[in-house]
Amino acid sequence: MNGRIAAPSHPVRRNTALLSACLLLLSGVLQLAVAVATITLVLVTGIESILGLGPAIFLTAGALAALPAGRLMDRFGRVPVIAGGFVVGMAGCLLTALGCVVDSAPLVILGFLGVGAMNGAVLLARTAAADMYPEDKKARAISYVLFGALFGAALGPLVFRPLFAGKDLELDTLVVPWFAAAAMCVVGLAIALSIRPDPRTIALELQAAGVAAGDPPAEPAAPLREILRRPGVPSAVIAALASFAVMAGVMNLTGYIVVGHQHEQADVFTVISLHIVGMFGLVLVVGQLVDRVGRRRSLIAGLAVMAVSTVMLAWVVSIPAMSLSLFLLGLGWNVSYVAASAELVTHAKPVERGRLVGFTDLMAGLLAAGLALVGGLAYTEWGVVAIAVGATVAVVGPALVILFGRRPVPALEPAG
């Protein structure tokens, strides 16, 4: 099917724009979670040493939701899972707000689980994007959808920053922002339900058209363990795990690091917004670049940029400097993650993609949760240098493994 595009009757551009809008809303909600998850849990428990637990709960929930969400996508389609993710996220935001009202740690934790599960499901929208485009354009297809999250970066300063401005950071202060995040989930739900036809349907029709044109007939879905052994998949999985885990682990501790440097809580949104710009601001260029220069090179380059950013954390203390560090962290993740996602969907059939990407997200999320939890403890004991050193090792090691590992079959690697 290489080089073919969807039939003109399919509104591919419209679906792509709607999927991008879903990521926009998800990004807006996640900014609040990243900025205040650590603080919220510390306030309801009074235990400062568990500052990494909030992000760990959030990331673990997203990870555990990813694999079943991916399997459901392969069976029932992409839209029901994305829409269901927003419903769960809305419930999570409302539970967190209620937990802040009544000062209840169990309610807050349940809320974090819901918001995390939403992230695990909605982030699989990149699989839906890849469904609608030919093999040689899958990286840029994924970049089109991820680009929507860039505009979500504006939601933090525009929506949440005014809600915190001039206020002491107390539980009462957190209630209205979490209600606002729930409203964003409702909008995301409406957008998801507007996606027609389901991208999985388009992928299956493209596959059928390929068979009619002389391609080999599609085989049934292979077991996951067999898919993971296909040439090119192991390197993509390793890069996806390292890039997402380090990015998410560091990002979710950023709020406490910023406050720990004696800055205001509202300043966290500035740093996180620049981080999200790094993650998605150049994603359209990155998608085309990955398709042009090759995915393996992009995997290594992205991890290298992340290493530079994490080293910087060891000595930067000002908001501009931390913003630059987090911008580079996002940019490096962008390159390696788009390349890894494109490689994964290329080596999987339409009825396999959800489970493969979901499994990768599961492992990456669990690893990120572990890094956030360990990072929180390390920060409490040794400061930000411990986070910087650990994060750097966590991206340099996988980059070296991919660099010196066996190359994938040339026919499956894009030109470059």
What structural domains and CATH numbers belong to the chain? 12-214+224-407 (1.20.1250.20)
Establish whether the linkage from the previous residue to 217 is cis, with ω within 30° of 0: no
Model pLDDT, residue 32: 80
User: Among residues 88, 98, 163, which one has the least CA distance to residue 118?
Assistant: 88
194 DSSP assignment: T
| Residue pair 242/339 in contact by the 8 Å Cβ criterion | no
Model pLDDT, residue 22: 95
With the CA atoms of 412, 23, 205 and 228 taken in that order, what torsion angle do they form, in degrees rounded to the nearest 10? 40
| Residue pair 73/354 in contact by the 8 Å Cβ criterion | yes
Q: How far, in Å, CA of 242 to CA of 231, rounded?
A: 19
Model pLDDT, residue 40: 81
DSSP 41-55: HHHHH--GGGTTHHH
Model pLDDT, residue 273: 79
| Residue pair 35/268 in contact by the 8 Å Cβ criterion | yes
Indicate if the alpha-carbon torsion angle 267, 327, 248, 279 is positive or negative. Answer: positive
Q: What is the mean pLDDT of the chain?
A: 84
pLDDT digits (tens, 9 = 90+) for 164-181: 666 666 788 888 889 989
62 DSSP assignment: H
| Residue pair 93/114 in contact by the 8 Å Cβ criterion | yes
| Residue pair 176/278 in contact by the 8 Å Cβ criterion | no
Is 246's pLDDT higher than 80?
Answer: yes
Between 172 and 81, name the one with better pLDDT: 81
Model pLDDT, residue 66: 92
The pTM score is 0.77
Is 53's pLDDT higher than 70?
Answer: yes
Q: How far, in Å, CA of 368 to CA of 34, rounded?
A: 13
**Is residue 308 very low, low, confident or very high in pLDDT (cuts 50, 70, 90)?**
very high
| Residue pair 326/246 in contact by the 8 Å Cβ criterion | no
pLDDT digits (tens, 9 = 90+) for 135-154: 778 888 888 888 887 777 66
Indicate if the alpha-carbon torsion angle 259, 263, 264, 270 is positive or negative. Answer: negative
Residues 6+ apart with CB under 8 A from 396: 303, 307
Model pLDDT, residue 416: 35
- Average pLDDT (263-290) is 83
Spell out the alpha helix ranges (H) of 46-124. 53-76, 78-102, 105-122
Give percent of the chain above pLDDT 90. Answer: 44
| Residue pair 310/359 in contact by the 8 Å Cβ criterion | no
| Residue pair 159/181 in contact by the 8 Å Cβ criterion | no
- Average pLDDT (96-118) is 93
Model pLDDT, residue 218: 55
